[in-house]
């Protein structure tokens, strides 16, 4: 039997070597020829931003400083955005800026070689200082506020903000917190401390992205203190795989440490385990934590991630009013001594030889307000909760504490799920706090009709009105969904006896004031109204009246296209061409146009409603055989996130859901908030089904905007399939991702199998298939388990080639070596099985030019019957990941049915694109043209284009721009480019960027 593949699988020659381009001339500068695009170097590329940021500062600033200047840069065709953005900030500074980036002759090759090879992080890391603030305990304003992340989509735990005018604390940082803060104008730069009530993806999924964003703010960068139970160490360890700068993570854990085997160690930091543990104790607040360990009835030991924490926030007592008459009588002059007395310090009298004490001049003080944050995630934590001695001082009915010493809790925020908080024991426990206000903030079944991210929900609503085919109604806020869920939420509490507790359901931005004392209590004034689709559309029609015609037009041409397709296919099965309805004299476009003659002439501004647009439509290509009468249940992609760098108001970060309907689904990239976006598209339950149906997740590279949503998806899948037999989910990604997942798995069960992208290069896959026997089996694998086969394969390679412990042996064992490949064989077998279940012929990763170990991906479907039962060839889908235009990807995209290509920058920002190894719009379109791709969708837009990127319409013959939640069904591909001019109408008033949309141009993407 032949041994498994022994070929060295690194490409020997550059994958970017030149070849003929198909009918499109691209300048040499578009292409890059690195010596070795996949250097097995340190994966810690994140630091590359330091150079980039500095460069931007030299080049005239990013962000939006020049946004309002009128560039006067007309765009051909559209003309809608001509006043909108400044020209490239870097252009004038090109020579100066390029010098350190482009080494020698690479300067002309159009990519940043240092960055592509991971060498550009030699710039000195920033100091990332923590903030120090002058506190003002007198006249402090203070409140707690519910930051309702996940309250509409139920994908994460809401956060709670503890606000002081000089200090901010946030409890929990689930996915989407950053995006939430941008939307609601909560300044992340003002946050001093983040506390976690548990350490898991539900409560901490937003942390990595948040830390990276903070590090990108200002010249020096910022950081924040993170506090959590000892499990926090696992998270910090995992984050190190992509946040290499230790200065960015100021993490502090407390309480007992749980080993992987369930044994406990005392935390070294706090010495002997004390309860409660005081974390913050300054002039304005004392925050302490009370950890809750679950006790399992079946005797299971404690696992990492099990500890939950109660946080108690106590404000200092409120001093009585200062009496100036008394002060004068004691010989004091108005001045700094007044303040000292108010702060609680004694002073010498100015006129008399006496010491004046605060009690001499202040009225009686009252106790400071107290709030508790309680996260009791399971019934197993109840025993610890009910018996926690540190809580005794807060109980009104305590037997252990004389009543006089009882502290009065003003507000308790409950983060546990309803299944716990509605139990009789919990309800009884709640009553022990007397008159405290209880806020139930478990992230379930509430506020479902009020989207937390209103701005993007509004745009989704508008896009749905304009073009429901590409933008189906949002899954989350449909009335059916709301009805279903509210039925569930109305289950009665176990303890149905009337309760004296003041209970209120948390709502987004609900406040409870603690200071000034006169305002103590709830404040609902900031709670947003519900978003009503009809109102959004009414408002849109008042702003852009002609949108009604555009919408009618889109819908008509969609309908007539479907009808023509149908009648055509009945007549002639062999004909690939579909007669385009809009070319006939009776086409809807012409009709609408004719109707409009003589009325307000806005046609000039709306290309899709004028004659020139009709000419434009005549360029329709042949429809490829793989799309002939294709069923609508074949394949559909949903662009879950279309922005780069960090989640913003209108665009989430990268993720593409590939829906294969009955054959399951795939995710290509999985940025933060992927789960939330799935919920927005498919609804709460629909998203759960989508997660259950995943065959595989493919991740392009290690930048945080492409993978930080992975843990949440994997953790949820585990939970959903807990009682159902299933196999681990296959995650294909760059090798550095494995380090993250391995470290993270110690904290939370992810139940996945990893496959290095390099094992899925075309050459590797060919070798793998070549090593299979005639039955398509791995020869050694036929009667043995996977791991045994692994051992045999790697042992055979090793023992046949090298002396034990020799230098060569360890060299041979490095990542990507044949031994490594042999270990991957069982996983490749699994991939083969999954692909065949999904109706796919192959999946290849393609090395691209961005950072070390960055890849694109090609998916090819197997032959299949179309809606008429005829066998048609399979479609081919290519996704670029992040990259400069790159020959390897062009080759891989040859005759693709659909190419999804990044287009981070507009055409005038080529220099920036080169410096950061991204593509401009024109370059991305050029790759599609060179490869002969049938359709191109552009995505990964810089967040400097909040709503719609800048592009040249003349380039868009086969191309469409992606928007978040855009859904592209294969059956709609022929029409896809036609939609773009209609969609543009929606943004015609966006001439100048809204200042409030500004985002920090972050660093890693």
Binding site for Zn ion (CB under 5 A): 644, 703, 705, 882, 1005
Min dist. Cβ of residue 296 to Zn ion (A): 42
**Token couple for 277:** 């543990």
Nearest to 790 by CA among 758, 768, 821, 823: 823
Closer residue to Zn ion in complex, CB, 182/700:
700
Do 124 and 219 touch, CB atoms closer than 8 A?
Answer: no
Question: Is 563 in a helix, a strand, or coil?
Answer: helix
Closer residue to Zn ion in complex, CB, 116/741:
116
Query: CA dihedral in degrees (165, 170, 176, 182; nearest 10)?
Result: 10
Q: 207 preceded by cis ω (within 30°)?
A: no
Min dist. Cβ of residue 917 to Zn ion (A): 8
Do 176 and 152 touch, CB atoms closer than 8 A?
Answer: no
Min dist. Cβ of residue 335 to Zn ion (A): 58
DSSP 909: G
Min dist. Cβ of residue 700 to Zn ion (A): 8
Do 170 and 465 touch, CB atoms closer than 8 A?
Answer: no
Beta bridge partners of 871: 865
Closer residue to Zn ion in complex, CB, 464/644:
644
Q: For residue 506, with 0-12 CB atoms within 10 Å meaning exposed, 13-18 middle and 19 or more buried, which class applies? A: buried
What is the rounded distance in angstroms from the CA atom of residue 176 to the CA atom of residue 646? Answer: 10
Question: Is 317 in a helix, a strand, or coil?
Answer: coil
Closer residue to Zn ion in complex, CB, 380/879:
879
What φ, ψ does residue 856 adopt, rounded to 5°? -105, 180
**Token couple for 324:** 């100036």
Q: For residue 749, with 0-12 CB atoms within 10 Å meaning exposed, 13-18 middle and 19 or more buried, which class applies? A: middle
Min dist. Cβ of residue 939 to Zn ion (A): 10
Residue 358: which residues within 8 A CB-CB, separation 6 or more?
319, 341, 342, 344, 345, 346
Closer residue to Zn ion in complex, CB, 137/643:
643
Closer residue to Zn ion in complex, CB, 780/882:
882
Min dist. Cβ of residue 999 to Zn ion (A): 14
DSSP 832: H
Angle subtended by helix axes 818-837 and 786-801, to nearest 10: 150
Min dist. Cβ of residue 905 to Zn ion (A): 12
Min dist. Cβ of residue 648 to Zn ion (A): 13
Min dist. Cβ of residue 46 to Zn ion (A): 10
Nearest to 920 by CA among 904, 937, 942, 944: 904
Min dist. Cβ of residue 882 to Zn ion (A): 4
Closer residue to Zn ion in complex, CB, 50/311:
50
Min dist. Cβ of residue 997 to Zn ion (A): 20
Closer residue to Zn ion in complex, CB, 216/442:
216
Closer residue to Zn ion in complex, CB, 705/790:
705
DSSP 997: G
Please report the beta strands in 762-885, taking only residues with DSSP state E, as ranges in sequence order: 840-847, 855-861, 864-865, 871-872, 876-879
Positive or negative, the CA dihedral 693, 699, 705, 709 is positive
Closer residue to Zn ion in complex, CB, 438/703:
703
**Token couple for 864:** 């299949």
Beta bridge partners of 513: 143, 521
Min dist. Cβ of residue 987 to Zn ion (A): 23
**Token couple for 763:** 């050459």
Do 62 and 944 touch, CB atoms closer than 8 A?
Answer: yes
Beta bridge partners of 502: 437
Kindly provide the b/e burial profile for residues 936-957, where b requires at least 16 CB atoms within 10 angstroms of the residue's own CB.
bbbbbbbbbbbbbbbbebebbe
Min dist. Cβ of residue 253 to Zn ion (A): 31
Angle formed at CA 426 by CA 423 and CA 429, multiple of 5 degrees: 150
Min dist. Cβ of residue 517 to Zn ion (A): 49
Min dist. Cβ of residue 282 to Zn ion (A): 39
Closer residue to Zn ion in complex, CB, 705/767:
705
Q: Please give, one letter per residue, the 3-state secondary structure of 237-283.
A: HHHCCCCCCHHHCEEEEECCEECCCCCEECCCCCCCCCCCEEEEECC
Closer residue to Zn ion in complex, CB, 781/920:
920
Closer residue to Zn ion in complex, CB, 164/1003:
1003
Closer residue to Zn ion in complex, CB, 78/847:
847
Angle subtended by helix axes 94-101 and 49-59, to nearest 10: 160
Closer residue to Zn ion in complex, CB, 447/644:
644
What is the rounded distance in angstroms from the CA atom of residue 485 to the CA atom of residue 480? Answer: 9
């Amino acid at each position: 039997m032949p041994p498994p593949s022994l070929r060295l699988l690194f490409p020997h020659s550059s994958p970017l070597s030149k070849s003929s381009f198909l009918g499109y001339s691209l300048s040499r500068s578009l292409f890059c020829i690195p010596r070795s695009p996949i250097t097995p170097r340190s994966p810690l590329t994140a630091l590359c931003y330091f150079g980039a940021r500095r460069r931007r500062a030299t080049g005239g600033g990013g962000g939006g400083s020049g946004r309002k200047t009128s560039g006067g840069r007309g765009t051909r065709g559209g003309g809608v955005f001509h006043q909108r953005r400044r020209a490239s900030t870097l252009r004038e500074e090109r020579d100066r800026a390029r010098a350190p980036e482009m080494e020698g002759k690479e300067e002309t090759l159009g990519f940043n070689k240092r960055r592509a090879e991971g060498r550009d992080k030699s710039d000195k890391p920033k100091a990332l200082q923590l903030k120090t603030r002058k506190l003002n305990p007198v006249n402090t304003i203070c409140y707690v506020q519910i930051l309702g992340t996940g309250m509409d989509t139920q994908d994460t735990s809401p956060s709670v903000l503890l606000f002081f005018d000089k200090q901010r604390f946030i409890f929990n940082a689930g996915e989407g917190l950053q995006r939430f803060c941008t939307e609601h104008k909560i300044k992340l730069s003002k946050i001093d401390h983040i506390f976690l009530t548990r350490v898991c993806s539900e409560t901490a999924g937003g942390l990595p992205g948040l830390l990276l964003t903070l590090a990108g703010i200002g010249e020096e960068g910022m950081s924040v203190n993170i506090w959590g139970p000892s499990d926090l160490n696992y998270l910090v360890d995992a984050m190190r795989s992509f946040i290499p700068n230790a200065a960015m993570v100021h993490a502090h854990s407390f309480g007992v440490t749980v080993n992987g085997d369930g044994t406990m160690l005392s935390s070294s930091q706090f010495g002997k385990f004390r309860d409660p543990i005081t974390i913050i104790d300054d002039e304005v607040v004392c925050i302490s934590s009370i950890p809750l360990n679950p006790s399992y009835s079946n005797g299971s030991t404690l696992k990492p991630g099990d500890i939950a924490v109660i946080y108690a926030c106590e404000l200092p007592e409120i001093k009585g009013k200062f009496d100036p008459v008394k002060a004068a009588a004691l010989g004091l002059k108005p001045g700094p001594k007044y303040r000292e007395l108010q702060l609680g310090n004694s002073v010498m009298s100015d006129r008399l030889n006496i010491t004046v004490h605060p009690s001499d001049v202040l009225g009686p003080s009252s106790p400071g307000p107290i709030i508790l944050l309680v996260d009791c995630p399971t019934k197993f934590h109840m025993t610890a909760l009910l018996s926690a001695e540190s809580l005794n001082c807060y109980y009104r009915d305590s037997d252990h504490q004389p009543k006089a010493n009882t502290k009065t809790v003003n507000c308790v925020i409950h983060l546990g799920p309803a299944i716990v908080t509605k139990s009789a024991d919990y309800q009884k426990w709640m009553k022990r706090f007397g008159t405290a206000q209880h806020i139930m903030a478990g992230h379930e079944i509430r506020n479902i009709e009020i989207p937390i991210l209103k701005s993007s929900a509004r745009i989704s609503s508008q896009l749905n009105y304009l073009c429901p085919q590409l933008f189906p109604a949002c899954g989350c806020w449909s009335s059916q969904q709301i009805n279903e869920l509210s039925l569930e939420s109305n289950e009665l509490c176990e303890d149905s006896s009337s309760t004296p507790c003041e209970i209120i359901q948390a709502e987004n931005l609900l406040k409870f004031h603690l200071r000034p004392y006169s305002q103590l209590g709830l404040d609902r004034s900031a709670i947003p109204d519900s978003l009503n689709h009809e109102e959004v559309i009414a408002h849109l029609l008042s702003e852009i009246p002609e949108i009604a015609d555009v919408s009618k037009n889109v819908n008509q041409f969609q309908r007539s296209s479907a009808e023509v397709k149908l009648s055509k296919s009945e007549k002639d099965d062999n004909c690939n061409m579909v007669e385009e309805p809009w070319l006939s004299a009776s086409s809807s476009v012409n009709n609408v146009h004719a109707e409009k003659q003589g009325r307000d002439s806005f046609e000039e501004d709306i290309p899709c409603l004028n004659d020139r647009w009709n000419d434009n439509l005549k360029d329709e290509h042949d429809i490829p055989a793989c799309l002939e009468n294709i069923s609508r249940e074949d394949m559909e992609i949903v662009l879950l996130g279309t922005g780069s760098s960090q989640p913003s108001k209108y665009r989430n970060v990268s993720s593409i859901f590939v829906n294969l309907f009955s054959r399951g689904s795939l995710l290509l990239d999985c940025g933060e908030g992927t789960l939330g976006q799935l919920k927005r598209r498919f609804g709460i339950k629909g998203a759960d089904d989508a997660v259950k149906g995943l065959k595989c997740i493919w991740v392009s590279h290690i930048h945080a905007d492409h993978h930080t949503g992975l843990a949440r998806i994997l953790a949820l899948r585990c939970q959903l399939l807990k009682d159902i037999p299933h196999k681990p989910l296959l995650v294909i990604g760059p090798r550095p991702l494995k380090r993250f997942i391995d470290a993270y798995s110690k904290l939370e069960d992810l139940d996945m199998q990893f496959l290095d992208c390099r094992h899925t290069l075309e050459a590797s896959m060919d070798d793998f298939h070549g090593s299979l026997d005639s039955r398509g089996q791995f020869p050694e694998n036929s009667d043995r388990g996977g791991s045994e086969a692994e051992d045999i394969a790697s042992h055979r390679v090793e023992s046949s080639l090298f002396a034990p412990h020799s230098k060569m042996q360890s060299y041979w064992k490095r990542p990507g070596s044949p031994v490594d490949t042999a270990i991957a064989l069982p996983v490749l077998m699994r991939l083969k099985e999954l692909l065949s279940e999904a109706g796919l012929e192959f999946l290849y990763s393609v090395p691209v030019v961005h950072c070390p170990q960055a890849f694109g991906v090609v998916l090819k479907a197997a032959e299949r019957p179309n809606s008429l039962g005829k066998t048609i060839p399979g479609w081919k889908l290519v996704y670029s990941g992040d990259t400069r235009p790159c020959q390897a990807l062009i080759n891989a995209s040859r005759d693709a049915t659909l190419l999804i290509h990044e287009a981070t920058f507009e055409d005038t920002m080529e220099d920036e694109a080169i410096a950061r190894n991204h593509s401009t719009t024109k370059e991305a379109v050029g790759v599609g043209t060179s490869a002969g791709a049938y359709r191109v969708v552009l995505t990964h837009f810089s967040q400097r284009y909040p709503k719609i990127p800048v592009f040249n319409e003349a380039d868009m013959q086969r191309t469409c721009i992606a928007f978040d939640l855009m859904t592209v069904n294969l059956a709609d591909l022929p029409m896809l480019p036609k939609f773009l001019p209609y969609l543009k109408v929606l943004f015609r008033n966006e001439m100048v960027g809204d200042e409030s949309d500004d985002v920090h141009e972050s660093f890693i993407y």
